[in-house]
């Protein structure tokens, strides 16, 4: 599978991304669309959520861990 090929590669680069912004602006929807290709009616994020996406960019294999914050003041 694609995931196993990425994990077996010696050239896998790890990156962490943090989505921040006001409540209700679409951070979770953007994350879901990017990682699974879908849009769904979502409930507000409580605390922090994350998803992992493997991508190939300019011939390099990347593992992205994308963190989704709740849009609360304490995450700014």
pLDDT value for 26? 87
pTM beyond 0.75: the answer is no
**pLDDT at residue 75 above 50?**
no
Q: State the residue range of the domain holding 42.
A: 2-75
Cβ partners under 8 Å of residue 74, min gap 6: none
Higher pLDDT, 73 or 11: 11
Q: How many domains does the chain have?
A: 1
**Cβ neighbours around 51 below 10 Å, total:** 15
Beta carbons of 33 and 53 less than 8 angstroms apart: no
The model's pLDDT over 18-72, given as tens digits with 9 standing for 90+, comes to 998 888 888 888 998 999 988 877 777 777 889 999 999 888 889 999 999 887 6
pLDDT value for 39? 80
Beta carbons of 67 and 48 less than 8 angstroms apart: yes
Looking at residue 17, which CATH number applies to its domain? 3.40.50.300
Nearest-angstrom CA–CA distance, 19 and 28: 9
Nearest-angstrom CA–CA distance, 75 and 37: 26
């Amino acid at each position: 599978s694609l995931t196993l090929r990425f994990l077996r590669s010696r050239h896998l680069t790890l990156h962490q991304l943090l989505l921040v912004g006001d409540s209700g602006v679409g951070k979770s929807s953007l994350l879901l669309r990017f990682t699974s290709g879908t849009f769904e009616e979502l409930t507000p994020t409580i605390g922090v959520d994350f998803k992992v996406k493997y991508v190939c960019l300019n011939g390099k294999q990347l593992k992205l861990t994308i963190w989704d914050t709740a849009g609360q003041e304490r995450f700014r």
